Amino acid sequence: MTKDTALNILALHGPNLNLLGTREPEIYGAVPLAAIDAQLASLAKTLGASLQCRQSNHEGELVEWIQNAQATFDGIVINPAAYTHTSLAIADALRAVKLPCIEVHLSNIFARETQRHQSLIAPHVIGCIAGFGANSYALGLRALIEHLNAS
Ligand code: DQA
């Protein structure tokens, strides 16, 4: 597949985000991942972009998706979940592909336990949106599309 003229965005969800809806709803909200993906797809359409959403519980799979994104996608919205705080491999993949990327988190990671305050991903993204629940994704997608349209 090659890049076409319309913006093509990849949304990546890291480990345990497949459990959204039932997983600690007091922290992550009650919206299931499928509903977040559907909202994002409709927002992308409104903004004139196409979107593919993928979730994995495996670091290597996320790394491969990031590596392969360069051929097909114009930018990435990523919630690396717990890998945010541990994964040099995902950070290195983002550095390597140099695609514009927005990091998103449902919860405000900076207001939580200290081990969640550090993001290994943050130095390699345009910006980070955290703390707005499912809306963090929508804000991230808007920010990425505005960035791409301006560049
Ligand atoms: C998260 C925050 C991470 O610390 C946590 O490990 C997650 C989800 C969030 O979206 O708030 O799984 O990325």
pLDDT per residue as tens digits for the range 28-72: 999 999 999 999 999 999 999 999 999 999 999 999 999 999 999
| Catalytic residue check, 28 | yes
Closest CA to 84 of 31, 138, 125, 39: 125
What b/e sequence results for 38-48 when a residue is b if at least 16 CB atoms lie within 10 Å of its CB, and e otherwise?
ebbbebbeebe
Provide, rounded to the nearest whole percent, the portion of the chain with pLDDT above 70.
Answer: 97
Q: Which atom of ligand 1 is nearest to the CA of 112?
A: 4
| pLDDT tens digits, 132-146 | 999 999 999 999 999
Residue 37 makes CB contacts below 8 A (sequence gap 6+) with 11, 53
The half-sphere exposure of 36 on its side-chain side, counting CA atoms within 13 A, is 32
Ligand 1 atom at shortest distance from the alpha carbon of 81: 13
Q: What is the pTM of this model?
A: 0.95
Q: Is 16 in the pocket of ligand 1 (CB under 6 A)?
A: yes
Out of 13, 58, 85, 105, the active site residue is 105
Give bridge partners of residue 105 from the DSSP assignment: 130
Mean pLDDT computed over every residue of the chain: 96
116 Cβ inside 6 Å of ligand 1: yes
Question: Is 107 within 8 Å of 131 (Cβ atoms)?
Answer: yes
Host H or E run for residue 104: strand 101-105
**58 tagged catalytic:** no
CA 1 – ligand 1 centroid, Å: 32
